[in-house]
């Protein structure tokens, strides 16, 4: 096997300073901190949000564009050709289908803008993994980024709770008052990111320092609990169990089938409960809120409108929040038309690019990473095996949490950047042998 994306390189040193290491580390931290903290941390939720998504966040656009250019320039001189392994037939077919959905969208300019942003973030997720010199450097950088975000979140709760904790004065969802959100816009985003931080802590504990790793785990878990994110709290143990099966099994096909069966069960448990009376009755008997905090109305609304454009969809990320949905459908639906997303990424993807596009995305983001994990694991490397497991856990969390939230590739920031980076990371490790 050849060397991987995590390749040691000869670095110029100036008066004892390893300039190459500094550049790699600074770029890596800048990208992940921007993805997690964003360019508008501790945003006030007291003001009514913009109803129409045509508005562009110029600060975010400029910030991510600047980082993309820096990463692209760095990659040009540091083996950008390694990213060719990501351009699989399914990836190419998915991007082409997304492009067709843009042309057929009821808002082509909005869909094109969203598609361009997503392509840029996918490119950044691919390039940022080239920055670490080796496995240990990757772990050190992830630990540094996570610790910084945790400190900022806790300081926010202590010093500015009005913008780091949901308030009864929030314009939307004042019922979340008291739930921690830190630098994030919503408690569920905070919960998902904290689950990812727990995976980082477990990685650091195995590769670098048990004390440091478990410190990350404990503080991320505490924050997740106080965020009261039911999805993250419920999905986390499931991911740890399924990933443990992956780590120790010798039957890849059976294990992959098990992981996909769990995904099908989760979607049946959620969206399926709207349409299958026995499932609804079962959920009603075991859950205090069988509506999944109002999600069932949104799922029903989404499925009804998916049935109207099942092949090509409404355009890439161009359904929720558009004038046609917020105002045009207001008289014919319930409050669900004002939702910001379907609270199920598979429905969101189908609404955006149709059912054929959804099938392509499932193959690309669900099936292939699971296959790639076993390909990567075929070469047993004690120093890098924890990284493979880390990427697997992030992928599993994304595909399971997506049954109730938005955690996959059509959205930017929060937990989604690491999710797509994990898909690429497993692919790199399935082809290349990492430096340690």
Residue 10: pLDDT band with limits 50, 70, 90? very low
pLDDT score, position 48: 66
Q: How many Cβ atoms are within 10 Å of 33's Cβ, its own excluded? A: 17
Q: What is the pLDDT of residue 214?
A: 97
pLDDT per position as a tens digit, 384-412? 899 999 999 999 999 999 998 875 665 66
Listed by start position, the domains of the chain span: 22-130+230-423
Write down the pLDDT at residue 15: 47
> Which position has the higher pLDDT, 273 or 21?
21
pLDDT at residue 285, rounded to an integer: 63
Mean pLDDT, the chain, whole residue set: 86
Kindly indicate the confidence band of residue 293, based on its pLDDT and cuts at 50, 70 and 90: low
Of the ranges 55-64, 92-101, 240-249, which one carries the lowest mean pLDDT score? Answer: 55-64
State yes or no: pLDDT of 418 exceeds 60. yes
Q: For residue 32, is pLDDT > 60?
A: yes
Q: What are the pLDDT digits (tens) for 157-177?
A: 999 999 999 999 887 788 889
Average pLDDT score over residue span 316-332: 69
* Statement: residue 16 has pLDDT above 60: no
Mean pLDDT value of segment 114-143 = 94
Q: Which of 63-67, 341-345, 431-435 has the lowest mean pLDDT?
A: 431-435
Tokens representing residue 353 in the block: 């690019």
243 pLDDT more than 80: yes
Tell me what pLDDT residue 298 has.
Answer: 85
pLDDT at 12 over 50: no
The share of the chain scoring above pLDDT 90, in percent, equals 58
Mean pLDDT along residues 205-225: 97
Q: What is the pTM of this model?
A: 0.90
The confidence band for 14, taking pLDDT boundaries of 50, 70 and 90, is very low
Summarize the confidence of residues 213-241 as an average pLDDT: 96
Q: What is the mean pLDDT of residues 58-62?
A: 78
User: What is the pLDDT, as a whole number, of residue 13?
Assistant: 43
When pLDDT is cut at 50, 70 and 90, the band that residue 301 belongs to is confident
Question: Rounded mean pLDDT of 273-296?
Answer: 67
Res. 7: pLDDT tops 60: no
Is there a contact between 11 and 168 (Cβ–Cβ < 8 Å)?
A: no
- Whether 107 shows a pLDDT value over 80: the answer reads yes
Q: With 90 as the cut, is the pLDDT of residue 326 above it? A: no
């Amino acid at each position: 096997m050849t060397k991987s994306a995590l390749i040691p390189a000869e670095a110029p040193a100036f008066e004892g300073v390893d300039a190459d290491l500094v550049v790699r580390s600074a770029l890596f931290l800048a990208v992940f901190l921007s993805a997690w903290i964003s360019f508008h941390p501790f945003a006030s939720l007291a003001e009514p949000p913009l109803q129409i998504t045509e508005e562009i966040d110029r600060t975010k656009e400029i910030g991510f564009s600047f980082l993309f250019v820096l990463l692209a320039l760095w990659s040009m001189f540091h083996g950008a050709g390694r990213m060719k392994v990501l351009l699989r037939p399914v990836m190419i077919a998915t991007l082409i289908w997304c492009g067709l959905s843009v042309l057929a969208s009821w808002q082509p300019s909005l869909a094109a803008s969203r598609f361009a942003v997503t392509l840029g973030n996918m490119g950044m997720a691919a390039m940022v993994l080239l920055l670490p010199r080796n496995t240990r450097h990757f772990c050190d950088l992830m630990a540094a980024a996570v610790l910084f975000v945790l400190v900022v979140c806790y300081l926010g709760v202590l010093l500015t709770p009005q913008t780091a904790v949901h308030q009864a004065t929030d314009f939307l969802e004042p019922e979340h008052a008291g739930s921690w959100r830190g630098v994030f816009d919503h408690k569920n985003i905070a919960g998902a990111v904290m689950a990812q931080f727990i995976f980082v802590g477990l990685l650091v504990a195995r590769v670098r320092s048990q004390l440091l790793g478990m410190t990350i785990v404990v503080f991320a878990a505490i924050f997740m609990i106080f965020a009261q994110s039911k999805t993250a709290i419920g999905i986390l143990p499931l991911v740890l169990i399924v990933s443990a099966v992956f780590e120790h099994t010798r039957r890849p096909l059976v294990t992959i089938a098990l992981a996909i069966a769990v995904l099908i069960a989760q979607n049946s448990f959620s969206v399926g409960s709207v349409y299958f009376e026995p499932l609804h009755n079962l959920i009603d008997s075991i859950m205090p809120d069988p509506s999944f905090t109002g999600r069932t109305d949104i799922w029903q609304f989404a499925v009804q409108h998916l049935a109207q454009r099942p092949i090509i969809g409404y355009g890439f990320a161009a359904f929720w929040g558009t004038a046609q949905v917020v105002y045009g459908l207001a008289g014919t639906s319930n409050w669900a038309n004002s939702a910001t997303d379907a609270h199920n990424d598979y429905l969101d993807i189908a609404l955006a690019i149709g059912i054929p596009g959804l099938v392509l995305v499932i193959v690309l983001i669900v099936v292939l990473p699971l296959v790639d994990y076993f390909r990567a694991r075929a070469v047993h490397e004690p120093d890098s095996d924890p990284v493979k497991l880390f990427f697997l856990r992030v992928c599993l969390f994304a595909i399971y949490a997506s049954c109730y939230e938005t955690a996959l590739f059509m959205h930017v920031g929060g937990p989604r950047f690491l999710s797509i980076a994990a898909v690429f990371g497993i692919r790199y490790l399935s082809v290349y042998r990492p430096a340690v």
